[in-house]
Amino acid sequence: MDQTQLNANWEQILTKLEDSLSQIVCETWLKPLIPLSLTTTTLELGTPTGFSKEWIEKHYIPFIVDASYEVTKARLAIDITSLNTELNNNQSEIPLPQTLSRPAASLQEQKDTANISYQVPFQTTMLDDQNQPILQPEIPSPIAPGDSFSLNPKYVFETFVTGNSNRFAHAAALAVAESPAKVYNPFFMYGGVGLGKTHLMHAIGHKIIQNHPEMRVLYISSEKFTNELINSIRDGKPEAFRQKYRNIDVLLVDDIQFLSKKEHTQEEFFHTFNTLHDANKQIIISSDRHPREIQTLEDRLRSRFEWGLITDIQAPDLETRIAILRKKALIESLNVPNDVMVYIASRIDNNIRELEGALTRVVAYASLNNQLVTNELAAEALKDVYPTDKTKQITLELIQEIVASYFKIKVDELLVKKRTRNLAFPRQIAMYLCRELTDSSLPRIGEMFGGRDHTTVIHAHDKICRERNEDIKLNNIIKELIQRIESM
Ligand SMILES: Nc1ncnc2c1ncn2[C@@H]1O[C@H](COP(=O)(O)OP(=O)(O)OP(=O)(O)O)[C@@H](O)[C@H]1O
């Protein structure tokens, strides 16, 4: 395959990757990859640094496998090659554009000896006259009991952080996982992009398999469902399709809003739904909106979805976003100061995928530039991808988070009744800043600090005002805090 064709294929794969990963991940990790070769079994990609090779291998291989499958219809092994080796040790980075035109053989010589290949079972692929893979349909194969191949091992209840925005959905998901087909059937979750619906669905799947290894669990996107159906009809194998979908115990269908408008697809899904529901099998569905707002959905399907429980997931509040970042940093052993997590969480507020992507970008930026992870560095790393929103309002919640983080205490400790100086002092500063930097009323501020009376807020405000004028050190602390809050 010549380089032009290879680049064109890689471009198509990148487009698919953009559907499943955040913009920030694609820009930071995937777009810099250089396609080196594509055979019927292997896609070889070059990375500019050893660090990015490791990172990609750890996080994105399954996504690249899926995206390249959509383009080539072959389950490829993905070979990541670090191009930054001994041969180039006089350069810290290889200039990306030139490497595109290097002959594959010389690149081969530069292979990192620690290369890992991810071998995923693939279908035998035929080649056409130009040695190109011929697109082959996937033949639906029955699901084996206890098989979790369709589930992402990282999406489990243990890694899911709960907060006000998702508490109900989480509790319901747990109940479904504990008693499949007994409590809420179907279980329908809806909410905006990147808020954890897929994560919860997979978590249900894992838990059910853990408790009932005899059960057949299948997670599928509605798009894949449609494609498999179309392929099975085209190949005269509709029975194989039905066998697969109607003989499972738990069916998880993601992004139902994309279920094709085509009558036949909805009809087939309707029958699948009825067969499973009648046989007392669990059905779990997700969507970006409430069933009644999915224009393309037939009424009979909509009303079926209403038989069970419909629950939404909202965008997480600041506290939950910080907790999500902390958990991610812990799981991935990332060393990120608390201040920086507060900073990132306050910059990205309505998509957890992007929130995670931003953390990854900041850590990568620090590592590639050999710098410490600080707020300034985070601001630099995120400035092009997330320009600061000057119109963004300063909230009481944000002030509490920043003050708590500055004094190395928990937000909850700002709210409790304790009067010890190490808590009362930051609390008074936080109240002062809430009064100075927001339009919130005194009773509202009091309420946000554990239901205190408005006179307590007045007292705190007056006290800090007075002390600020007399104490340079305190004055500097307040200035520093104001600067941090305003730079969010
Ligand atoms: N509460 C949470 N705790 C920990 N991680 C979370 C949480 N919510 C979402 N995430 C993470 O955010 C990312 C995006 O979540 P997910 O893919 O489940 O979103 P989604 O709602 O299904 O989005 P889409 O509508 O794009 O399909 C995942 O990496 C997921 O693990």
Ligand 1 binding pocket mutation candidate from 17, 22, 26, 198 (most atoms within 8 A of CB): 198
Nearest CA to ligand 1 atom 4: 160
Distance (angstroms) between ligand 1 centre and the Cα of 470 equals 49
Q: What domains appear along the chain, each with residue ranges and CATH number?
A: 3-82 (3.30.300.180), 157-312 (3.40.50.300), 318-383 (1.10.8.60), 396-487 (1.10.1750.10)
Distance (angstroms) between ligand 1 centre and the Cα of 321 equals 12
Distance (angstroms) between ligand 1 centre and the Cα of 202 equals 11
Average pLDDT over residues 457-479: 93
Counting atoms of ligand 1 from 1, which one is nearest the CA of 288?
A: 25
Residue with tokens 């009773």: 443
Counting atoms of ligand 1 from 1, which one is nearest the CA of 316?
A: 1
pLDDT, the chain, mean: 83
- Cβ of 427 below 6 Å from ligand 1: no
Distance (angstroms) between ligand 1 centre and the Cα of 193 equals 8
The residues with which 313 forms a beta bridge, in sequence order, are 191
Strand-by-strand arrangement of the 309-313 sheet: 217-221, 250-254, 282-287, 187-191, 309-313
The 3-state DSSP class for residue 34 equals strand
Whole-number percent of the chain with pLDDT over 70: 86
Give the integer Cα–Cα distance in Å for 158 and 170.
11
Q: Is the ipTM of this complex over 0.85?
A: yes
| Residue 55: band (very low, low, confident or very high) from pLDDT cuts 50, 70, 90 | confident
Distance (angstroms) between ligand 1 centre and the Cα of 197 equals 6
CA 258 to chain centroid = 19
Among 295, 75, 249, smallest CA distance to 145 is for 249
Nearest CA to ligand 1 atom 20: 194
DSSP string, 76-110: -EEEEEE--SGGGTT-SS--HHHHTTS-HHHHHHT
Q: Report pLDDT digits (tens) over 206-236.
A: 999 999 999 999 999 998 888 888 888 888 8
Stated pTM of the model: 0.66
Q: Report pLDDT digits (tens) over 91-149.
A: 333 333 232 332 333 333 333 322 322 223 333 344 444 444 444 444 456 678 888 88
Q: Please provide residue 292's backbone torsions phi and psi, each rounded to the nearest 5 degrees.
A: -70, -15
Counting atoms of ligand 1 from 1, which one is nearest the CA of 195?
A: 21
- Cβ of 196 below 6 Å from ligand 1: yes
Residue type, 314: Q
Q: CB 236: neighbour CB atoms within 10 A?
A: 8
Counting atoms of ligand 1 from 1, which one is nearest the CA of 199?
A: 18
The residues with which 35 forms a beta bridge, in sequence order, are 45
Q: Compute CA distances 402 → 180, 330, 412, 442, whole Å.
A: 42, 21, 13, 20
CA atoms within 13 A on the CB side of 423: 13
pLDDT at 228: 87
